[in-house]
Structure 1
Amino acid sequence: MYVNSINTMSSAQASTVINKSAKLRQDDFLKLLAAQMQNQNPLDPMDDKAFIAQMAQFSSLEQMQNMSANLSMAQAVAMIGKEVYATIPTERGVQQQISGTVDSVKFSNGQAILTVGAVDVPLENVTEVRDLEDATEVSDSDE
């Protein structure tokens, strides 16, 4: 009987592969589920309860991702008209501090991008948000 050889990895190599692809996406989950279905033992098929549990986990994962995306959108839109401070990398890789009023928000590849003057700032780079009305009131009371 002929048996194909099996390639093995050391645990260090395996952990490197896992760290590089630590984020599983929806497509990855579906591929794993399809592979599990295709390669199951026909004499001992997967329990239908286990299959239903996996589908429920997939559904809840998808819903959490959608909620996270909607929350980011809401946070970004709420910043329009507010003063923000952010740290962004320059072309030389140096971190640059910028501040200004958020003029608009756009979404690219599921990421919220704030337009501050002529600079596009990813939402994740914002370090501080101030309401311009509050800042005006403080400066008026100081006089």
Structure 2
Amino acid sequence: MTSIDTSFATGLAVQTATRQTGNANLGQDDFLTLLTTQLKNQDPFQPMENGEFLAQMAQFSTVAGIEQLNTTLQGIGDGMGQFRTATAASLIGKSVLVPGTLVRADASGAVSGAAVLTEPAEAVMVTYSNSVTGALLHTQTLGPQQAGQIGFGWDEVPASLVGSRVPLRISVTAAGGTAGSTPLAPSVYARVLSVGTSADGKSVVLDVEDKGTVNANAITSFR
């Protein structure tokens, strides 16, 4: 039998044994066994070409290196996920800025929030109402404002609403722009109740009072 026939027969035997063990893929250990067997059975006067085997060995080494790198990166990713969760947990009990019109006063009787102006305004009006009864509680008129984010707040919420934790409803209106009087979508500071992970486990989420689940990556400000 020639060296080529011997190599083919040996390779067939190894692949057959591999299938019998339930592994349909030729792994690096199987390949090395095949190579060693062929080297032992080659014709010393007509040695087989080894360039292809060396290239295949290099390919196996590359694949093994990539697998090891992926494992390392996965470990780093898991560690970063745990770090993000631990960092987000420090927000429990604090207030984060989230879009919404409902806000509850803190223990000192204060509420605060922000709105974004797309163009300068001659004035900005903020109203605070009882979200249950609809009664108007307070109105603020801010002076001329440039485009961008503006902050607002009220620190004299009635003690009865502070104690009962009744939410206030915020309304923000800009006046004097090209569109005249324009209602704005406010954001308010709301308390973080708990921290968890998303359903796919890839991101950290916050359970925010009156707002439900909020992705931690969407938080830009807290206090």
TM-score, normalisation: structure 1: 0.49
Which structure is higher in RCO with an 8 Å CA cutoff and minimum separation 6?
Answer: 2
Higher helix share: 1
**TM-score where L is the length of structure 2:** 0.33
Q: Which has the higher strand share?
A: 2
